[in-house]
Chain A
Amino acid sequence: MSPNLLLPEASATQLLRRRVLGAAGTLLLVGTYLFLVITQPAGIVEGLGQGVALATFAAYLIAAVLLLLAVLPDLPVSALTLIPVALALNIILGQFVGSVMVPLYLDSIGTVLVGFLAGRRAGAATGVLSTLIWSLFAPTVLPFAAGAALVGFLAGTAARYGALRRPYLAPIAGLVSGVLVGVVSSPVAAFVYGGTSGVGTGAVVAAFRSMGDSLLSAVTKQALISDPGDKAIVFLIAALLVFALPKRLSGSFDFIRRYKVLGKSGNK
C-alpha cells in the first residue's frame, strides 16, 4: 500500500478535452458574432426577430459555458480560492461606485485582478462565473458571460506580456480590452434585447439612431464610448491593488513568478 505522496502527471486525454472544449467555445462565439454582423437581421420583433434573439442568447451563453468547462479542471487550488474573493469584490466595489452616480460600471475589478494574479484562463473563468452568479439576481446578464470571459482573458494576456511592469501600461491595456469587449458584446444588446438596459446608455443609442444608424451600429458606437474608458479605469485600479500586495503574497502565484508579471524580482 504505497502512500501516494506524489502527484501523478496530467494525462493526454485531459489536455485534449481542454483543447476541444476551448476551441468549440471560441468557434461558437466567433461564428455567431460574424453571422450576426454579416447578415444583420432587420426585424427585431416581427418575423425572425424572436428566433434571432433566442439563438443569440443561447449561442453566447453556451460558448461561455464551454470555455468555462475547458478551463475549470486545470485551475490550481490557489486560483480556485481566489475566484470567489474576486466575484465578491466585483459586487462590493461595483456597488460602492454605483452609489455615486458615475456613468461607469466598474463591476469587473475582481475579474481583472484574477487575470493579473492567476493568468488568462483563471481570468476567463472568473468572468463567466461572475455573470452566472450575478444572473441569480439579474437574469438579463446571462448572454454577456462571453464578454466578461473576454475581459478576464485579456487581463491575463496583458499581464503576461508586461502590462504590469509600468503603472501607465495597465490603463492602455484596459482601453484596448474595452474596445474588443464592447464590440463583441454589442450584438447581444442589439439582437437579444433590442437596446440597452440603462437610461443613460439608452439615450446615447437613441441619439445615434436618430442620426441614421442601424440598431447594431448605434449600440456598437455607444459601447465604444463607454467601455474603453470603463475598462481602462478598471485595469488601473486592479493594477494598483496588485501593487499594494506584499511580495510574498504576489510571489506565491505561479503565474506572477513564471512570466515576471511585476518585473524582474518584482521590485516596485
Chain B
Amino acid sequence: MKRRVAELHPFTVICLAVLTVSVATAASRWWLSCAVIALCLAIGAFAGKARELAALSGAIMLPTLLSLLMIHGLASRDSSPVIAAWGPISLTRGGVEIAMALALRTAVLVVAGLLCGLLIDKHQLVAAIDLSPAPPQAGYLLASTLFLLPQMMEKQHAIGQAQALRKAGTSRGLAGWLQRLRLRAVPLVLSSVQDAHDRSVHLAARGFPARGEHSRLRHVADSQIQRGVRWVALLCSVLVPVAILVPLGGAS
C-alpha cells in the first residue's frame, strides 16, 4: 500500500482531498464527516503515518474546539436548554451542537489536508509543479523554502553556540529576552540576506527563471487514468456541493 501511494501523482492526491473536503462540508452530516476522518486515519495508518497525523490534528483541533465552545456554547442567544451554568455564563445545548458541527467541519479539512502533506513526497511535488504550466518560480520557491528551513534552524543553533561562547544573552527579564531575540535574529537575518544576495547572481547565471520551455530530469509517474480522475474529482467538488445546497437554498 505504501508503494501504491507513492506512485500516485501528487496532484491526484490533492484533487481527491479537495473533493472529499468539499463534499463532506456541503453534506454536513456528522456520520459522513466522522467516516471521512476515520478513512483518512486509516489511510494514514497504512502509510505508516498514523501517529503523526493524529498528533498534528489534535494539536490544531483542540484549541479550535475550545474556542468554538466558548464562542457558540457560552454566548449563544437561542432558547435551547441550558446544560450548565456558572453565574451569568451558561452553556446551552443548541450552542454546543453548533460548536460541535463547526469543529467537525474544520476537522475534516485538517485531517484531510495533513494527510496530503504527509503522503506527498516533497521532491515529487516540486517536480510535478515544475512540469505543469505553473510559472517556474513556483516550484523553486516551494523547494527552496522546504530545504532552507532546516538549514536555517541549524544556523540558528550555531549562532546560539557562538553567542554562548561570548557569554552573551544571559540577563533575565524582558530586557534580557529582547536582547536574546536581537542576538538570535540579527546575525541570522544578516547572514541569510547576504547569502540570498550572493546566491541570486549564480542562480541567474544558470538560467533561472527559465524564460521559455523548461524540463526536468526527474520523472513523475502519471497516467491517463490519474489525469481523468483529477478532472472528475475537481468537477465533482464543484458540482456535488451545488447539487446538495441549491435545493436547500430553494427550500429555506
- The chain A residues found within 8 Å of chain B, CB to CB, are 43-45, 47-51, 53-54, 69, 72-73, 75-78, 80-85, 87-89, 91-93, 96-97, 100, 113, 117, 129, 132-133, 135-140, 142, 193-199, 201-203, 205-207, 209-210, 215, 218, 237, 241, 244-245, 249, 252
Contact = CB atoms under 8 A, between A and B. Distances in A.
Counting chain A CB atoms within 10 Å of each CB, the highest count among B22, B70, B72, B249 belongs to B70
Contact of B101 (A45, A47, A237): A45
Contacts of A140: 60, 64, 106, 109-110, 113
A252 B195 CA distance: 13
Contact of A205 (B71, B181, B188, B196): B71
Given A96-B181, A195-B102, A139 B114 contact: yes
16 contacts: A47-B249, A72-B137, A77-B201, A77-B203, A83-B144, A84-B196, A87-B148, A89-B188, A92-B153, A92-B156, A129-B141, A195-B67, A201-B67, A206-B71, A244-B186, A249-B194
B68 interface: yes
B138 A72 contact: yes
A54 B22 contact: yes
Contacts of B22: 54
A34 B74 CA distance: 29
B142 interface: yes
Closest 6 CB pairs of A and B: A139-B113, A202-B67, A209-B75, A84-B144, A194-B102, A81-B196
Contact of A81 (B71, B72, B199): B199
A249 B137 CA distance: 23
Interface residues of B, number: 71
Contacts of A117: 193
Given A72-B135, A73-B137, A202-B71, A85 B109 contact: no
B105 interface: yes
Interface in B17-69: 22, 25-28, 56, 60, 63-64, 66-68
B245 interface: yes
Contact of B146 (A54, A83, A133): A133
A80 to B, nearest CB: 6
Contact of B74 (A97, A194, A201, A206): A206
Contact of B249 (A48, A75, A96, A195): A48
Q: Is the interface of B mostly helix, strand, loop or mixed?
A: helix
Contacts of A209: 71, 75
Interface string B136-152: 01101110111011001
B188 A92 contact: yes
Given A92-B153, A140-B60, A206-B75, A82 B196 contact: yes
B25 A50 contact: yes
A85 B67 contact: no
B163 to A, nearest CB: 14
Contacts of A137: 56, 114, 117
B142 A89 contact: no
A252 B117 CA distance: 37
A85 B192 contact: yes
A45 to B, nearest CB: 4
B197 A203 contact: no
Contacts of B190: 244-245
B72 A96 contact: no
B63 A199 contact: yes
B1 interface: no
Counting chain B CB atoms within 10 Å of each CB, the highest count among A47, A82, A202, A249 belongs to A202
B193 A45 contact: no
A215 B77 CA distance: 12
Given A45-B28, A195-B102, A82 B68 contact: no
A118 to B, nearest CB: 10
B112 interface: yes
B209 interface: yes
A212 to B, nearest CB: 8
